[in-house]
Each structure stands twice: as C-alpha cells, then as structure tokens.
Homo-oligomer: A and B are copies of this chain.
Amino acid sequence: MKFKSKNLDWLAGRPVVILGEEISKKMNVHVNDRISIRHGQKKVYAVVDIFPSAVKKNEIGLSHEISTILKTHKSDSIDAGTSDGLIGGRLIRKKLHNEKLTAEEIMTLIQEISSNNLTEAELAYFVSAEKIHGMSDDETIALTDAMVKTGKKLNWGNQIIADKHCIGGIAGNRTTPIVVAICAAAGLKLPKSSSRAITSASGTADVIETLANVELSLEEIKKVVEKTNACLVWGGALGLAPSDDKIIQVERLLNLDVEPQLLSSILSKKIAAGSNHILIDIPYGGGKMKTIRDAKKLGKKFKKLAKHFNVKVKPAYTLGIEPIGNGFGPVLEMQDVISVLQNKKDCPQDLKEKSLFLSKKLLSLCGVLFPGHKARKMLESGMAYEKFKEIINAQNKSNDFDKRVKNLKLAKYQKIIYTKKTGEIIKIDNSKMNSLCRVLGTPETISAGVYLHSHLGKVEKGQKILTLYSESKQRLQEGLKFIQEFDPINIK
C-alpha cells in the first residue's frame, strides 16, 4: 500500500513507523508488528507503533533511523507491506530447534541485528536458544567474527595494544583505572573502553565520569591515546561490534549470562578496538564462577577462541568470595581508586594488591621484563598517579584534575551501621551489595552508595560495618529495610 512519508525527528533506537488507527486497521497490523517500508529501490523493516495524533490520514511517520536509511523527504511516496519476512527470523527459529548455524548464516543474522532489522523479542529468542542449546566452537568463532566485521574498528598498525577486562560479578573491584594507569606509565598502549553499570552499583565508565568526559569519538580516543598511552572511555556509543550492544540490552532484561555470547561479546569488542594482548580477570568463588574449575574452563575457552583471531589472551583467576575495595558507587569507588594511586596508607589494600597482580600479569603478557617489580615501582613512585591525571586531563581537554578531585562529594544523607555482636564476618554477598547500592540510588546518583568498613574476618560488637549514602531520605529508609530483609553481610 502507498502512503506519504512524514519524517519525525525521532531517535527511536530502532526503525519505528508511526501509523494512525485507520491505516493500521487497513493493513491489519498491531503495535510491535513489523512491516517493510520501501522508497524507490531502498527497503527497510520497521516496528509498528500506533499514535493517531502524530500523523495525518494516509501518512506514515518515520523514525530518524528510517528516514536516514531511505533518504526520504517530506511527503515522499512510500510503499508499506506486511507480506515479506526477513531471513533472520528463520535462522533464529532454526537455532531454537537446536540446529547448527553456518558461518554464513551467522553473518546474515548479525548483519540484520546490526541494521536494527530484528525486534528485541526476536533477539530474546536467539539468546534463549544460545543459552539452552549452547553454541559449537565454530559457531562461536563465526559469531565473534561477524560481530567485529559489522562494526567500526580502530587501527593501530603493528603495535602491541593491551587491554584488561573483568567478567564481572564482584562488588567494587574497580581495578581498571589503576591497572591502566600503572601499565600506561610503564609504556603500554591501552585504548580502554568500559561499560556503564548494568546490574552493579556502577560501571567503570560511571566511575571515571565522576572526573572526566567519557563519551569520546574514535578520533578523540586516538588523540588521547597517542598523547598519554591510554584512555578510559565509555564503549557504548563507539560503534565497535554494535550488534553486541543490542544483544546485551536484551540479555540484561533478565540479567542472563550466556556463555558463548559472553565470549564473543568480550573478544569482539577488544578485537574491534585493535587490542591484541588481553588480560581477562575471571573471579571465582562468589561472582559468576562458583569454583576455580568453572573459571579455568571459561579461561580455556577464551584462549581457544582468541587463537583464531591472532590475539593473545591471558586469563587471571582471582578470588571473588567478597567485594574488592571499600566504596561501592561512582564517587565512593573513585575515592578508593585515588587513595590507591596516591599511595595513601589507609587505602584499600585488597584493591591495591589485586591491581598490582593484574598489572604484573598484563605487563608480562606484553613482554615487559620484571613485570611485578615494574608494576609496583610505577604505583609507589607516583608515576601511575601522574599518568592517571594526564589521561583524565586529556579526556577533559583541560588541566583541572586536582580541582575535580576536590569537588567529589558524597551524598548528604548518611547512616552508619554498627555490628550487633562480636564474631566473624563469614559472608559478604556481592550481588546483594550491588542491589543495596541501587536501592540507595546508584548509578544515577553518583554520590550515593555504600562504604564497607570491614571485610571477611573478626569483628567486635559495636564496630562500624557499613555507611550508607543517599540523596533521598526515603531511599535511605529503603536501604535500611533492604539490609534487614536481605542480610548482605553474615556475622557468625
């Protein structure tokens, strides 16, 4: 059927058409159905939304994604149809029926995902099939390859490009800024991009954002890295392996961990960023991996997959039975990072030692001699701190690092929790600690979160154990209720 186009200045996140009620009835389509929209030789698939007041009769409203692809002007004639399906749906159905997909089929599927041609529900079907049926090695290789090829890339020539990644699941654990600062000070190049929080109290990008602009373009990243050896940016809008972002968005709806997707997701982003020496922190015992055996299994899969892409991966197995660091929440974690980089005596020792351990591993992977000694020297000499300052200032295009640090503020409502008995802290639940922070307002409220005064081990009655921070009295109350109900810390 033919209609007139109306370009809506509307970034919908995927191609969406706005129909009036009459047209939707005529076409027999409902909200969230998908239809094809043709304009001349160009064609795109779009999700239907019905919004009578936005369009006239015989007019179809096009989201920005569609008008960009079809290059439509006001009142162009467009043809809308419901008959033809996409091949992606058929491929997902195949995988749901537990049949293997070929490399070519996976490429087609990932292309359709990158072009926004599949709905979130279709992606959820794909993720379910991956989760329940698993993926063969060949499928995982093809998936990684397709995710890299359908996005942008950073090219660094033949240099050694280092990266460090943690599979997540541990509260706090903000080692990245410290490791990047140490290794960059030691001469490595690290174009490090990180995510924002998905289910945790804050992501590395959220933490860095308390001091620096993290939304850099690929060109700006190049400049900052050439100048300082490293960057600490948000990876979400760079267009590296874009299909991965879409799949992750669907996974996080149910907070699912899908192993083949995790492998492809991490490696494709690193490969697209041009990294070729990658340290992967795999905590065990309390995060995503219950035992060291699980962790080593995953590490082996990373190494195997990386081989196909001529990339060196080194897994680091670290103990994940409790949170790392004392602060949880963007500002609180940044304060931990800074106290480590400043070599403060009272800095969180676990965070410091873990960062040194990971730095040593990464330096060693990149061929640096005496890596343990070098890492400690960079940190304790203050060179890592200087490097961190340089990176932050370069990202901000300014020199006001110290002022920014001074301006870091914690939330105005605070509540200290004391132990009720003498005994031993036997468990601190990572995921409950993260949930507690979310209740208090993180990551949106950067000044909110939790400070943990004691880690696993002996405590006296009446000792400080937690301080809660929130900008809202109500949320602070909710946080206290959360602690009563869910007991994130067990004392025996």
Segment from A164-172, A251-259, A281-289, A303-311 that makes contact with B: A251-259
Question: Measured between C-beta atoms, what is the minimum distance from A19 to chain B in Å?
Answer: 11
Cross-interface CB contact of A132 among B12, B31, B89, B133, cutoff 8 Å: B133
A128 pairs with B120, CB closer than 8 A = no
Does A369 touch B at the CB level, under 8 Å?
A: no
Q: Would you give the 0/1 interface string for A1-45, flagging 1 where the beta carbon is closer than 8 Å to chain B?
A: 100000001111110000000000011101111100000000000
Chain B positions within 8 Å of A178 at CB level = none
Contact mask A236-263 → B, CB, 8 Å, 1/0? 0000000000000110011110000000
Q: Which of A49-57, A70-78, A222-230, A389-397 contacts B (4 or more CB under 8 A)?
A: A49-57
Cβ–Cβ contact A250 & B121, under 8 A:
yes
Measured between alpha carbons, how far is A208 from B168 in the docked complex, in Å? 57
Asked if A487 is at the interface (CB within 8 A of a chain B CB), the reply is no
Most buried by B among A13, A14, A50, A83: A83
A253 touching B121, Cβ below 8 Å = yes
Task: Tell me how far the C-beta of A233 lies from the nearest C-beta in chain B, rounded to whole angstroms.
Answer: 16
| A254 and B31 within 8 A (CB) | no
Task: Report yes or no: B254 in contact with A28, Cβ–Cβ below 8 A.
Answer: no
* Known contacts A250-B121, A444-B1; is-contact A96 B13 (Cβ 8 Å): no
Report how far A14 CA is from B26 CA in the complex, Å.
21
Output the least CB separation between A413 and chain B (Å): 15
Name the CB-closest residue of B to A441.
B83
With the chains together, A93 CA to B255 CA distance in Å?
8
Do A93 and B256 touch across chains, with their CB atoms under 8 A apart? yes
> Could you say which of A14, A84, A132, A206 has the most chain B C-beta atoms within 10 Å of its C-beta?
A132
Q: Please determine whether B249 and A438 come into contact, CB atoms closer than 8 angstroms.
A: no
Q: List, in ascending order, chain B residues with CB within 8 A of A49's CB.
A: 12-13
Q: A53-B9, A93-B255, A438-B83 are in contact. Are A124 and B128 (CB under 8 A)?
A: yes
A490→B84 CA distance, assembly (Å): 23
Chain B residue numbers with a CB within 8 Å of A194 are: none
Contact partner of A444 among B12, B28, B133, CB < 8 A?
B28
A317 within 8 A of B: no
Contacts of A13 in B (CB 8 A): 30-32, 49-50
If A12-B31, A28-B444, A444-B1 touch, whether A89 touches B53 (CB-CB below 8 Å) is no
Known contacts A249-B30, A256-B96, A438-B83; is-contact A10 B119 (Cβ 8 Å) = no
- Measured in the bound complex, the distance between the Cα atoms of B250 and A132 in whole Å is 19
Contact between chains at A96 and B131 (CB < 8 Å) = yes
Residue A340 interfacial (CB < 8 Å): no
Encoded as 1 (CB less than 8 Å from any B CB) or 0, chain A from 75 to 91 comes to 00000001110000100
Task: Find the B residue at minimum CB distance from A129.
Answer: B128
CB-based nearest B residue for A2: B472
| Distance, CA A123 to CA B250, complexed state (A) | 12
- A139 CB contacts on chain B under 8 angstroms: none
- B-chain residues with CB within 8 Å of residue A82 when the two chains form the complex: 438, 444
Contacts of A380 in B (CB 8 A): none
A window 325-376: CB within 8 A of B? none
Nearest B residue (CB) for A443: B28
User: Once the chains are docked, how many angstroms separate the CA of A253 from the CA of B28?
Assistant: 15
Please, which residues of chain B bring their CB within 8 A of the CB of A254? 89, 92-93, 96, 122, 125
Assess whether A143 is interfacial by the CB under 8 Å rule: no
What sequence of 0s and 1s flags, for each residue 110-125 of chain A, a beta carbon within 8 Å of any chain B beta carbon?
0000000001111111
Check A153 for interface membership: any CB of B closer than 8 A.
Answer: no
Set of chain B residues within 8 Å of A26, measured between Cβ atoms: 444
**How far is A14 from B32 in the complex, measured between Cα atoms in Å?**
10
Q: Is A197 an interface residue (CB 8 A)?
A: yes
What residue in chain B is nearest A437 (Cβ atoms)? Answer: B83
A439 interface residue per 8 A CB criterion = yes
Q: A96 and B132 in contact (CB under 8 A), knowing A50-B13, A83-B439? A: yes
Q: Report the separation of the CA atoms of residues A350 and B82 in the bound assembly, to the nearest whole angstrom.
A: 31
A119: which B residues are within 8 A, CB to CB? 120-121, 253
Min Cβ gap A169→B in Å is 16
A123:B121 contact, CB within 8 angstroms: yes
Flag A417-461 by CB within 8 Å of B: 1 or 0 each.
000000000000000000000110101100000000000000000
List 14 additional A-B contacts (Cβ < 8 Å) besides A96-B132, A121-B121, A122-B254.
A10-B51, A12-B31, A12-B51, A13-B49, A27-B444, A30-B249, A32-B120, A82-B444, A89-B255, A120-B124, A122-B124, A124-B124, A125-B253, A128-B129
Query: 11 A–B contact pairs at CB < 8 A?
Result: A10-B53, A10-B54, A11-B51, A27-B444, A28-B206, A89-B254, A119-B120, A121-B124, A121-B250, A121-B253, A125-B127
